[in-house]
Amino acid sequence: MLQVKRHSLIVEYVVEKGCARVNELSQIFGVSPETIRRDLTALARNKKIVRSFGGAMISENNASFLAADTPTNHGNFVDKAEAFIKRTKEQPERKMRIAKGALQFIHEHECIIMDNSSSCWFLARQLPDIELTVITNSLNIIQTLACRKKIRIVSVGGEYSERHGDFHGPVA
């Protein structure tokens, strides 16, 4: 298969699934994990996907496109998604440095709590797929971690806020 075709299919797969792991893509396309890593790096450079530890996730461009294309849209979802995307674009390099620095304090079999901040979302994107429990009130973090097989996600519950994309209130 030509590289251009494989890149197109990888993007299509990541958009459909929301995220994908290197080993998973390697098996699907019958190429080495190193080839997939190079493919993902090239696709991330072109902003087709977002690289994460051990794989890739849907890019903001594709996420916005999907949100606008969703039949259950009702006009509000796109505004909410754009509000979150706006927060992620505020000092992203700094937030990524903080996230990468925080990884050294997170170890297998631990339990961590993550709030609805975009800084925590950057951290969630970098978490390796290890035995870990993440407690969060953030729907964005839940969605980001959903493709990690080994990470156990616990939502705090409460009332869902479309405006903030989180759960809050006395129950939370």
CB 10 within 8 A of CB 49: yes
State the pLDDT at residue 82. 56
In a domain, 161, yes or no: yes
Q: What is the CATH number of the domain that holds 143?
A: 3.40.50.1360
Q: Are residues 136 and 91 in the same domain?
A: yes
Composition of the chain by helix, strand, coil, percent to 5: 50, 20, 30
Give per-residue pLDDT as tens, 7-20: 999 998 888 777 88
**Range(s) of the domain holding residue 44:** 3-61
The answer to whether residues 98 and 35 belong to one domain is no
> What does the DSSP assignment read for 102-163?
HGGG--TT-EEEE-S-HHHHHHHHH--SSSEEEEESBHHHHHHHTT-SSEEEEE--SEEETT
Return the H-helix or E-strand segment holding 53: none
Output the pLDDT for position 62: 56
Q: Does 71 reside within a domain?
A: no
Question: How far is it, in rounded angstroms, from Cα 35 to Cα 25?
Answer: 10
Average pLDDT over residues 44-63: 79
> How many structural domains does the chain have?
2
Which of 135, 133, 143 has its CA nearest to residue 165?
Answer: 143
In this structure, are strands 151-155 and 132-136 parallel, antiparallel, or unpaired?
parallel
Asked if 113 and 160 sit in the same domain, the reply is: yes
The arithmetic mean of pLDDT across residues 138-142, rounded, is 90
The pTM for the full model equals: 0.57
